[in-house]
Amino acid sequence: MTTYVVRRLAQAVFVLWAAYTLSFAVLYLLPGDPVTVMAAGGGDSTSVSPEQLASLRVRYGLDRPVAEQYATRLGHALRGDFGASVHSGEPVSRMIADAWPATLELTTATLALALPLGAGVALSGTYTRRRWLRQLLLSLPSAGVAAPTFWVGLVLIQLVSFRWGLVPAFGDEGPASLVLPAVTLSLPAAALVAQVFAKSLRTALAEPYIETAAAKGASRLRVHFAHAARNAALAPLTVAGLLVGHVLAGSVVVETVFSRTGIGRLTATAVTSQDIPVVQGLVVFGACAFVLANLAVDLLHPVLDPRITTTGPTAVTL
């Protein structure tokens, strides 16, 4: 087990390093002058004097060789220092620390809705004997995945908030303001869970041990929920780890549509204003969240399914 954990931790560290390196390359090594972009702030760069550009290069260390810039910034990033925002001058780490609690609240609410909803659709769709109902339930995930997030959010605002007046449409004051954003993000997430879980259930129901359990007198309900669902649960568990990245990406749209503060809104603002230090800090933060979620899933797999071994070359031998 120790070797398994160490291997997964090493993979997590490598992913974080790769995310930082790629973000550095994309943001600082693309054709063009990043100092001019930052100084212009989306306006006319001709209004910035050469002296101001030179001062910015010295301030952000962009006057040094690229390799030295990379090593210096990587060392600072290891200490949690991603520099300061070009526009506000506030430390990037503090900006992320102020924004992430709201996004964490939204992520928690989204997963709390998506996981049981997706699992319920998959279980019901594979259990019912009514053909029309089975086809209806198993077709819902495809519609949920295809529906654009921003469109779902706008429809919910129009119906639930403006027409029916049930919950606030915008802001992040109180639990009621969390309902529409969480529902908007949970629908495509639940659809993904339902698709994966339904396919895994159908595979499990075709296994020989299902016939053995039925032959021993187990009821159809017990066979479906206690035997098949238990063995099919690993696939949606893996998807749950991936959903963290899905929710973080969706929060950019949802927090903008619903005027909520958080990582998504900060990302949209930083990209629009071309605030390079903030964008790089957000890329690394998103990679950290994704890595931690998937690391937790990897460590839960051998606990939930004893058939998975944690030794050997693959560490997942059944």
The domain boundary residue, chosen from 78, 110, 137: 78
Same domain, 118 and 68: no
Q: Is 27 helix (H, G, I), strand (E, B) or coil?
A: helix
The upper half-sphere exposure of residue 81, i.e. CA atoms within 13 Å in the direction of its Cβ, equals 7
Pick out the chain residues at pLDDT < 70.
1, 28-48, 304-318
What pLDDT sits at residue 314?
Answer: 44
Same domain, 266 and 212: yes
C-alpha distances out from residue 238 to 74, 152, 210, 296, 298, Å: 31, 26, 23, 10, 8
Buried b (16+ CB within 10 A) or exposed e, 199-238: bbbeebbeeeebeebeeeeeeeeebbeebbbebbbbbbbb
Same domain, 252 and 105: yes
pLDDT tens for 85-97 read 877 778 888 999 9
Same domain, 105 and 54: no
The domain boundary residue, chosen from 22, 48, 78: 78
Same domain, 164 and 16: no
The answer to whether position 311 is within a domain reads: no
Same domain, 148 and 6: no
DSSP state, 91?
B
What pLDDT sits at residue 34?
Answer: 60
Same domain, 176 and 62: no
The answer to whether position 128 is within a domain reads: yes
The answer to whether position 297 is within a domain reads: no
The tokens describing 33, both together, are 């002058």
What pLDDT sits at residue 219?
Answer: 86
Place of tokens 């995930």: 141
Same domain, 133 and 265: yes
The upper half-sphere exposure of residue 25, i.e. CA atoms within 13 Å in the direction of its Cβ, equals 6
The answer to whether position 159 is within a domain reads: yes
CATH code for position 112 = 1.10.3720.10
Same domain, 109 and 73: no
The answer to whether position 293 is within a domain reads: no
pLDDT tens for 45-75 read 556 677 777 777 777 777 788 788 888 888 8
Question: How many domains, in total, are found in the chain?
Answer: 2
Bridge partners (DSSP) of residue 186 are: none
pTM above 0.95, yes or no: no
Same domain, 28 and 62: yes
The answer to whether position 265 is within a domain reads: yes
C-alpha distances out from residue 86 to 144, 173, 285, Å: 39, 29, 18
Range of the domain at 110: 99-272
Same domain, 6 and 50: yes
The answer to whether position 144 is within a domain reads: yes
What pLDDT sits at residue 1?
Answer: 63
What pLDDT sits at residue 117?
Answer: 92
Q: Judge contact between 263 and 100, C-beta under 8 A.
A: yes
Same domain, 107 and 51: no
The alpha helices in the chain, defined as continuous H runs, are 2-28, 34-40, 50-59, 66-78, 92-127, 131-146, 149-156, 179-205, 208-215, 220-222, 229-232, 234-257, 263-272, 276-304
What pLDDT sits at residue 291?
Answer: 84
Q: How far apart are CA 149 and CA 191, in angstroms?
A: 12
The answer to whether position 88 is within a domain reads: no
